[in-house]
Structure 1
Amino acid sequence: MPAATELAKHFTTVSAESLPEAPLSEMRRLLLDYLGVALSGSRTESGRIAGEVMIGLGGVPQATVLGRGDKVPAVHAAFANAVSEHSIEMDDVDDLALFHHGPPVVSAALATAEWTNSSGHELLAAMLCGCEMMNRLSLATNPALRDRGYHTTPACGVFGATVAASRLLRLDADQLVSALGLAGAQASGLMEMYGPSMQKRINPGPAARNGVVAAMLAQAGFTGADTVFEGERGFGQAFAGGIDVDVLLEDLGAEVPVAVEYKAYSAARPIHNAIDGALQLKQLGVTASEIERLVVFRHPDWSEYHRNFAPATYHEAQVSLPYSTAVALIDGAALPAQYSDDQVRRPDLVALMGKMRVETDPSLSRGVSCRLEVTRTDGNTVTVQVDDAKGSLGNPMTDADLEAKFTRLVAPVLPKGAPEEIVRAVREVSPVDELIALCAAGEARDGA
């Protein structure tokens, strides 16, 4: 039996009531985090452009462009919202490939749920099934997929988006098999995305949109290949040089391999350990003026990444370990306010980056582990090591942490009282239309 057939049978027959409570409850946390990050991201240049272009296409008003309030076809809303949620580098991550569930899966699920007038419970179930599909495919193809230059978030995320949209459109198993095949035909996403441009922001947009398109086409009778995963020219072979079907289907129906980590800082996830280390140094009384040398030791898995010592834009700064470390130590924060084009050339940050080096240490315990060693001008040294960054599975954010993050992000977007109402609506799993109405309550507040 093709893998797509087994997956489709599972995802179309598992009921919301039978899904495990722990990961289903995690979807509430993911939804709240998604809304806060997407609403904030809609105010960035990349989020604004994506929203305006999708609104300009016109069409049947089915789903809301977050941060704008306009209703557009669900496929356009999924695209725009995915770009917004990926625009401030605070979207969720997984703990293996460091991909993001929210931009492709939740964007597709939320747009489809609003269009179909689904319940809050139906939305959460669709999100979980979509996240499971995405995780299973990532586990079965990584690290080979990433090593070949593909971005896991869109490449695997289009299948998660398809499963989520298909559940909300109530596809049967045969239709979902076709939808998965059609998703494979649209899978994409390159790691050639770092630099001063907005390139990275667009990657999950097509994945979210294409997932909804695949589900719609299959519902209308368009058929797709059932060998999309393990076929000779299928996704596994093309994107990863092969696929481990046993891993793809392992404990299907018995285990849900979904673990969500959250971002406390507005930077690429592998940098967060260094940011936490810099914040610890600041708490220990270390100041930039007394630093003679700062060495950041990284595990070989990530040592060669993020070594930009002269970012030209905030897009580059968010994937620059030297910049993020410097701004965290000097400002005591690494939030959206610390990442803007007018800050990247700040003399104090440039000076501190000039005192930094990045070196490799294979003795570090985890791929994202960092050890920061400061040599002061008086010759004394201070060392800190961070293996589990804030928000990781080893150092999780509490519900209160996530609610505080949400409130902080949406404060410039929504009127007073709206953030608390949205937190309540998510906690109580309110109907999707009520939730969307609350999110849209103040979206014209700043004239956007």
Structure 2
Amino acid sequence: MTSPVSTQPMDPSGPTGRLCQWIDSMSLSDIPESIKTRAKYLILDGLTCALVGAHLPWSEKATNAILSIEAPGVSEVFGWERKISPMSAALLNSTFTQGFELDDWHSEAPLHSNSIILPALFAAASTRDSKTAGSSFLLAYLIGLEVGPRVGKALYGADILTQGWHSGAVFGPSASAAAVSKLFSLNAAQTEDALGIACTQACGLMSAQFESEVKRMQHGFAARNGLLAAILAKGGYLGIKKVYEREYGGFLEMFSKGNGRNPQFLIDEVTKGLGEKWQTENVKIKPYSAMAATHGAIDCVRKLQAERPEEMKRLGDVEKIVLEMGEVEFHHGGFEVQRPLTSTGAQMSAKYVAVTQIVDGKVLPPSFRFDMLERDEVWSLVERTTCVLTSGLAKWGQRVTIAFKDGTKLSAEVAAPRGVKPDLSNEEIVAKWKDLTKGVINDARRDRIEKLCFGLEDLEDVMELSAELAGITNNPIA
């Protein structure tokens, strides 16, 4: 006689087991209305980024390469009017969402949740025989938002960036697998399998930030791998049990090796505050098209431009620019850059981004077109800019000092960038959506997507929203 299959995790009282039981037990009614409302605006921001990114040059390069080997499938490719396999659709749609450094990030455990969770969920929904209600989609999305950062906080959050790992690509498979497991209504044991399969695929090298295009795709690996993990678990395939707390070869044990911390990792963070403290509240929305750790420098320059507008126009008289920043910001964005520079390298560089704000008065997609990356007036200032690791600044604080040839010095400091303190409001997210999609999609389509997004809880089938995303979009920097 075959033994009955357990629906419980291997160790229900352990960190992995408790997390899986929480995922299994959660319903939409357990989540505060304010969190559900904010989540719909976060989703809209993710869709903004995906549509804007769908036909960027590097997105088209990746898409054409994958379409050349893909047979027709069931999953929409956003902005392309093509359906392919769920795995490849999740990979590409994530790559679009991460395509221009416009997407969300988590302030305590850096990952770009929308580029991980949304592509995986839309692909997962396309595989189902029955309709996927918008309410089920929203619940699964929120599960992903809660799980990914908790896994990251167990590894000291942004600390992993200083070790050279791409944090979101490491934390992300857990978020994707958890979200899709919930959408598939997997029980706690199956969810444990999904997380175990997802975690063994986690990886991402932060050296991708310099000249590569693959930095744009690394969250896509997380989206795809978490989706694969949940599909395998749904089919009965067994994953690593107790994956977070295992001493030999466990996820936290391996990704924390050599970090010099004591304790090496924070296992309690995996389940700390579940259902009480909402990590969704720490998802931040970017006002600028650049890596989040550069935003403090941008805001310092904006402050100087507002307070000393005439001096800030004297670009030819600038002798030296000094950007002071903390450890994470310095390691992530304080690197040296050389001409020629790719758009990825430019958007990750504190030097280049700060100078872009000085020259253009804004940091948005058009500044990173290939021709714009070759401007002499920008490079002349970049060459006079230095990044300095500075202690004593606030957690997100940065300071910019500009010295002129006549001895004048202008200095500005911010304790935290816009989008962190204060957060972008829901109204500002809508304004970002309308501004960035202008010319990318028509107004009627924009209004339909916005209506479906905000009415998600009453939507009968989320594939109606997916179909709107699938239509052809325009390249915003063509």
Cα gap change, 1:245/1:336 in structure 2, threshold over 3 Å: closer, same or farther? same
Higher mean C-alpha deviation, range 157-166 or range 372-381: 372-381
Corresponding residue SS for 1:417: helix
Match of 2:422 among 384, 395, 399: 395
How far apart, CA to CA, are the structure 2 residues paired with 1:246 and 1:234?
Answer: 15
Query: How far apart are 1:274 and its partner, in Å?
Result: 0.7
Task: Tell me if 1:133 matches 2:147.
Answer: yes
Higher mean C-alpha deviation, range 162-171 or range 291-300: 291-300
Cα RMSD after superposing both structures: 2.1
Equivalence for 2:102: 90
Equivalence for 2:261: none
Corresponding residue SS for 1:344: helix
How far apart, CA to CA, are the structure 2 residues paired with 1:57 and 1:174?
Answer: 35
Cα gap change, 1:68/1:60 in structure 2, threshold over 3 Å: closer, same or farther? closer
Corresponding residue SS for 2:321: strand
CA deviations over 1:333-366 (Å, ceiling 9, x no partner): 1111001222222111111223322223312112
How far apart, CA to CA, are the structure 2 residues paired with 1:308 and 1:266?
Answer: 20
Structure 2's unaligned 5+ residue stretches are 1-10, 258-263
Higher mean C-alpha deviation, range 257-266 or range 353-362: 353-362
How far apart, CA to CA, are the structure 2 residues paired with 1:174 and 1:209?
Answer: 21
Query: How far apart are 1:441 and its partner, in Å?
Result: 4.0
How far apart, CA to CA, are the structure 2 residues paired with 1:40 and 1:140?
Answer: 33
Equivalence for 1:341: 370
Higher mean C-alpha deviation, range 102-111 or range 156-165: 102-111
**Correspondence list, 1:3-82, <5 A:** 3-59=15-71, 61-82=73-94
How far apart, CA to CA, are the structure 2 residues paired with 1:139 and 1:20?
Answer: 23
Equivalence for 1:119: 133
How far apart, CA to CA, are the structure 2 residues paired with 1:131 and 1:103?
Answer: 11
Equivalence for 1:191: 206
How far apart, CA to CA, are the structure 1 residues paired with 2:21 and 2:438?
Answer: 43
Equivalence for 1:369: 397
8 Å contact kept, 1:277–1:386: yes
Query: How far apart are 1:49 and its partner, in Å?
Result: 2.7
8 Å contact kept, 2:79–2:471: no
CA deviations over 1:380-424 (Å, ceiling 9, x no partner): 3222112221211x1211222212212232223212322222222
Corresponding residue SS for 2:154: helix
Equivalence for 2:174: 159
Query: How far apart are 1:182 and its partner, in Å?
Result: 0.9
Task: Tell me if 1:257 matches 2:279.
Answer: yes
Match of 2:321 among 288, 294, 306: 294
8 Å contact kept, 1:114–1:432: no
Q: In structure 2, what residue type is equivalent to 1:157?
A: G
- The one of the two structures with greater contact order (alpha-carbon pairs below 8 A, sep at least 6) is 2
Higher mean C-alpha deviation, range 266-275 or range 18-27: 18-27
Q: In structure 2, what residue type is equivalent to 1:401?
A: E
Task: Tell me if 1:274 matches 2:286.
Answer: no
CA deviations over 1:97-150 (Å, ceiling 9, x no partner): 332111112221222234433122211111110111101100111255434332
Cα gap change, 1:119/1:59 in structure 2, threshold over 3 Å: closer, same or farther? farther
Equivalence for 2:161: 146
Aligned residues: 445
Query: How far apart are 1:307 and its partner, in Å?
Result: 2.8
Query: How far apart are 1:59 and its partner, in Å?
Result: 4.5
8 Å contact kept, 2:121–2:141: yes
Q: Percent identity?
A: 26
8 Å contact kept, 1:313–1:340: no
Equivalence for 1:235: 251
How far apart, CA to CA, are the structure 2 residues paired with 1:215 and 1:59?
Answer: 22
Q: In structure 1, what residue type is equivalent to 2:272?
A: E
Match of 2:466 among 418, 436, 446: 436
CA deviations over 1:254-288 (Å, ceiling 9, x no partner): 33333210111111110011112222222231112
Structure 1's unaligned 5+ residue stretches are none
